[in-house]
């Protein structure tokens, strides 16, 4: 089955600002469509995006960026990443990482995360004092998840300011329409980040701690298998890049959505027990990751469309999460939504391994904002980042008071 190219420009500022009307129009035309400009298929509906994520005939197959010598470090940290692997390699690596995570790290950090979130909100309140706008992104949303991942891995406090700039540079490679400068910056960041983690891992071998990095260094399966040096480095980088980018973007997108729907913000203040459901709804309503690619390892039909071996198809997560066939009043924010099978964290074997930690962070930060403020309102226009794939804000000015 051949379909006309979908009229969707992912670099169009109007689409970046609000892709959901374009998604709705495309979904009404067909659930799976070819995009000539990107050279891949796009799955717009929940059913077909979910199928893209779960069908084992569609693989996450990494191909090195070329020329290889230009992207040596960037290729290395992706070639060894669990996100870019398929079974049996994926199964082996995920088991080893899960073994390290199973040491109770998420629950160990829960009180610490809440204390940090409370402190960051108090700082915003003090600076704003109910009159001066302060930026949520730089003042809290960016700081908390980086601090949490750093604490999880045992990164010394003095080194933590290095992490977010490295991550920011690397993830810009996932966007379309990259410049040469963006690519050079990503390669440099990958090289510096990998070198730093190799040294930190060496320190943990000499002096073990109770952090996740120590447990990744020492994790073994029943047959004595363990992570290679490159797998260890890549896993730590992936935890930071995927973990903090998603949390930062849900924080900004989600709070902006609440402020634009004051009835839902008020309902959440009056019913704090809704917070876990509200976090799931905020992730559904404005997804932090909009697109996830896979490649056909054999001919496969998705949504009645023949995907040939070697062709790429992308699940449009934001479109799937607004599908009216699955979500009642899909374009409406409903913090008490009970039936919410969103696919923000993915699905199938690549379901996000850091999802429990992300939920702890988001519940802590939104809970602190709700509990520790009586005034919480926009202090100016929100500024959105100009990228489509990782959907988030650059600035979110707020006025807060205790």
pLDDT, tens digit, for every residue of 202-237?
A: 999 999 998 889 988 887 655 678 889 999 999 999
Encode pLDDT of 7-33 as tens digits. 688 888 999 999 999 999 999 999 999
Of 54-58, 150-154, 217-221, which has the strongest mean pLDDT? 54-58
Residue 103 binned pLDDT confidence (cut-offs 50, 70, 90) = confident
CA angle centred on 238, ends 235 and 244, rounded to 5°: 135
The separation between the first and the last C-alpha atoms of the chain, rounded to the nearest angstrom, is: 59
Structural contact between residues 330 and 323, judged by C-beta atoms closer than 8 angstroms = yes
Structural contact between residues 10 and 283, judged by C-beta atoms closer than 8 angstroms = no
The Cα–Cα gap between 336 and 319 comes to 21
Q: How many CB atoms lie within 10 A of CB 102?
A: 11
Residue 353 binned pLDDT confidence (cut-offs 50, 70, 90) = confident
Least confident of 57-66, 304-313, 331-340: 57-66
pLDDT at position 76:
93
- Whether the full predicted model's pTM is greater than 0.75, yes or no, is yes
Encode pLDDT of 130-140 as tens digits. 999 999 999 99
- Encoding tokens for residue 264? 């839902």
Domain boundaries, the chain: 63-288+347-401
Residue 2 binned pLDDT confidence (cut-offs 50, 70, 90) = very low
Structural contact between residues 16 and 386, judged by C-beta atoms closer than 8 angstroms = yes
**What CATH number belongs to 63-288+347-401?**
1.10.630.10
pLDDT at position 162:
92
375-400: average pLDDT: 95
Average predicted confidence (pLDDT) for the chain = 92
- Encoding tokens for residue 115? 């204390």
Is the confidence at residue 116, as pLDDT, over 90?
Answer: yes
pLDDT at position 221:
58
Encode pLDDT of 240-260 as tens digits. 887 788 899 999 999 999 999
190-195: average pLDDT: 96
The strand order across the sheet containing 134-135 reads: 134-135, 397-401, 375-378
Cβ-based neighbours of 44, under 8 Å, separated by 6 or more: 23, 26, 27, 30, 31, 32, 33, 316, 319, 320, 323
- Between 280 and 353, the more confident residue is 280
Is the confidence at residue 84, as pLDDT, over 60?
Answer: yes
For 65-86, give one letter per residue: b (16+ CB within 10 A) or e. Answer: beeeeebebbbbbbebbbbbbb
- Between 12 and 4, the more confident residue is 12
Spatial CA neighbour of 185 closest among 176, 172, 203: 172
For 366-402, give one letter per residue: b (16+ CB within 10 A) or e. Answer: bbbbbebbeebeebeebebbebbbbbbbebbbbbbee
pLDDT at position 346:
94
45-66: average pLDDT: 94
pLDDT at position 222:
58
Beta bridge partners, 253, equal none
pLDDT at position 1:
45
């Amino acid at each position: 089955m051949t379909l006309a190219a979908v009229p969707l420009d992912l670099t169009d500022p109007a689409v970046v600002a609000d892709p959901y009307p374009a998604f709705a129009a495309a979904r009404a035309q067909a659930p799976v469509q070819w995009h000539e400009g990107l050279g891949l298929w796009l799955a717009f509906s929940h059913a077909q995006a979910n199928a893209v994520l779960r069908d084992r005939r569609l693989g996450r197959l990494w191909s090195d960026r070329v020329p290889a010598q230009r992207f040596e470090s960037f290729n290395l940290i992706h070639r060894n990443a669990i996100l870019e692997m398929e079974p049996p390699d994926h199964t082996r690596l995920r088991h080893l990482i899960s073994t390290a995570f199973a040491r109770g790290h998420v629950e160990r950090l829960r009180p610490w995360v809440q204390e940090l979130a409370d402190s960051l909100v108090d700082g915003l309140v003090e600076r704003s004092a109910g009159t001066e706008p302060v930026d949520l992104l730089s003042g809290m949303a960016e700081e908390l998840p980086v601090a949490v991942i750093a604490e999880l891995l045992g990164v010394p406090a003095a080194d933590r300011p290095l992490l977010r700039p490295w991550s920011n540079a690397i993830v810009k490679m996932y966007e379309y329409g990259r410049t040469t400068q963006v690519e050079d910056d990503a390669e440099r960041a990958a090289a510096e980040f990998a070198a730093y983690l190799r040294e930190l891992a060496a320190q943990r071998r000499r002096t073990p701690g109770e952090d996740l990095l120590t447990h990744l260094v020492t994790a073994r399966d029943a047959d004595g298998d363990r992570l290679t040096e490159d797998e260890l480095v890549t896993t730590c980088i992936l935890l930071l890049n995927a973990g903090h980018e998603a949390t930062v973007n849900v924080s900004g997108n989600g709070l902006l959505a609440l402020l634009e729907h004051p009835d839902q913000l008020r309902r959440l203040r009056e019913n704090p027990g809704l917070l876990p459901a509200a976090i799931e709804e905020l992730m559904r309503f404005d997804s932090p990751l909009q697109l996830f690619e896979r490649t056909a390892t054999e001919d496969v039909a998705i949504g009645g469309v023949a995907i040939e071996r070697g062709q790429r198809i992308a699940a449009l997560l934001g479109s799937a999460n607004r599908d009216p066939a699955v979500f009642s009043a899909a374009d409406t924010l409903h913090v008490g939504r009970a039936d919410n099978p969103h696919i923000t964290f993915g699905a199938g074997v690549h379901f996000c391994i850091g999802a429990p930690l992300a939920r702890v962070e988001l519940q802590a930060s939104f809970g602190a904002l709700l509990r520790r403020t009586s005034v919480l309102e926009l202090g100016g226009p929100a500024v959105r980042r100009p990228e489509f794939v990782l959907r988030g804000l650059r600035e979110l000015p707020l006025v807060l008071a205790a």
